[in-house]
Chain A
Amino acid sequence: MTTIDTARLVAMFAAIATAMSADRDRLCALDGVIGDADHGIAMELGFSAARDAVAALDTEATDPTTLLNTAAKSFLNAVGASSGPLYATAFMRAAAAVKGKTTLDDADVVTLFQAMAKGIQDRGKAEPGEKTMIDAWAPAAQAAGEALTSGKDLAGSLEAAAQAANAGAEATKSMVATKGRASRLGERSLGHMDPGAASAVTVIEAMRVALTT
């Protein structure tokens, strides 16, 4: 059983920000094919802002809920765009899901993770199959829940989530976009991975590594 405290969550945001900076140009290039080529910039900017905001908190005096709300607000105000409301809602829902807890056990983290996916889906009103980030987030959340129920620990559950996210992102290549900016492309979006799904894989993988290794 892993115990995740506020300091570990601060480290998680630092890890996501680092991963996003490394991935920025690939995400911009993916977005350039079917969108407006700024997705990597927005994601790097948002997670850098979240990293800096949570790093400034006093971890001793901050619970996970406050930390996640701080991350949400700083991400949103740095970015706007589409990813701002989507990830801000994800972290606000995550904050609500672990309200009252000072540390998080395996089940809490999976609940937090599932709340993020639900938040993104509710805010963006996308369903799986519409070639958006939800095609990575929804199967990842489901896989994490199933793995935990089947007796896996947090590492096993997030491993399942990361694999499902990756498979989901790959599957967007054969989807026609019907939501978001790429939806105006119709069939021309075929064959290209959705940049939002691609960045979701990066976020989820960074969370996995930061929380379980």
Chain B
Amino acid sequence: MQTKKIINDGNRAVDEMLEGILAAHPRHLKSVDGSPRSIIARDGPRQGKVGLVIGGGSGHEPSFLGFVGKGLADAAAIGNVFASPPPDPILECAKAVSGGAGVLFMYGNYAGDVMNFDMAAEMAAMDDIEVRTVLSTDDVASAPRDQRHKRRGVAGNFFIFKAAGAACDRMLSFDECERVAGKANDHTFTMGVALSPCSLPQTRRPNFEIGPDEMEIGMGIHGEPGIAREKLKTADEITDEMLDRILDEMAPARGDKVAVLVNSLGSTPLMELYIMNRRVKQRLDEIGVSIHASWVGNYCTSLEMAGASITLHRLDGELQTMLDHPCDCAMFRAG
């Protein structure tokens, strides 16, 4: 049985979505001439500023192109559904946003993305554009603590890109932008839970099997298997299980400040996200950790997957300044 989707042609889904996005956000976004999968900010790239190029597969909207705009990313390279973009559109993004101060590539740590972005970086070097890369590795469930560099990048991209985008917009040096980006990654921890699968537009088949009364803790945003398959529990129990792992690693001290992201994987509604967020607040209150800001909604989705992720971003003075720095993107505004 095929899943139900509102599409015309599975193979055209990404390009038709991009046409719709450009139609909806003409004030913020445009594509590079001759490279429709390279989406750049109308306002943002400028001389002397470090350029920030993000990107990855489609199917995670509003990631990644929703975070393109003044104060955040200068461009996003768009791949097929759940597949890294090839080097060409990434290179076109780098060229379009280069202001002579270097270009930062930021994306989630996946083998395919690393190969394609690295090839693009080599090609950019031939055009005399210096590229440096900061990978996001916020998914606590995806590798042991001592192998943080092997972890996937998931919804915590939101905070990591936000910090880096602010550093670039504040005209910090290439070294400083790279340092802030890496630090933001080190301060960001995400855990996900999946309740039901998603299906790719080309196959319209569920991409994994899960029982009607089951959930999978730690599942990735492409349906990669997680840490444990369990019976579905209450919102408080699920939130506790996720937070326990995050807090165990983040090890916050009483008086620390965090930013919170409770993110839907696609079809889990705001009602359930806010129920989870209520529990997050209770737990952080109990340990004396204050919440500087919260975001609850769809920030890094996995098509129509049911489930959610919780991200905590531990703030210090510098990261708080970056988080509070204004940005004006197609699908996100702050400050």
Contacts and interface: CB of A to CB of B under 8 A. Distances in A.
Interface of A: 25, 28, 32-38, 41-42, 45, 76-86, 123-124, 179-185, 188
Nearest to A77: B86
B110 A38 contact: no
A184 B142 contact: yes
B207 A32 contact: yes
Contacts of B11: 45
26 contacts: A25-B205, A28-B200, A28-B205, A36-B223, A36-B224, A37-B200, A37-B203, A38-B200, A38-B202, A41-B202, A77-B86, A77-B88, A78-B86, A80-B84, A81-B79, A81-B80, A81-B83, A84-B83, A84-B84, A84-B115, A85-B87, A124-B115, A181-B110, A183-B150, A184-B152, A188-B225
A80 B223 CA distance: 19
Contact of A42 (B80, B150, B208, B224): B80
Contacts, number: 105
Task: Select the residue from A33, A36, A79, A123 with max chain B CB neighbours within 10 A.
Answer: A36
Given A28-B205, A37-B207, A184-B142, A79 B115 contact: no
B203 A45 contact: no
Contact of B116 (A42, A85, A188): A85
B112 A80 contact: yes
Contact of A81 (B84, B152, B220): B84
A28 B112 contact: no
A34 B224 CA distance: 7
B102 interface: no
Contacts of B83: 38, 42, 79-81, 84
B225 A36 contact: no
A189 B191 CA distance: 21
Interface in B94-135: 110-112, 115-116, 119
Contact of A85 (B110, B115, B223): B115
B85 interface: yes
Contacts of B112: 80-85, 181
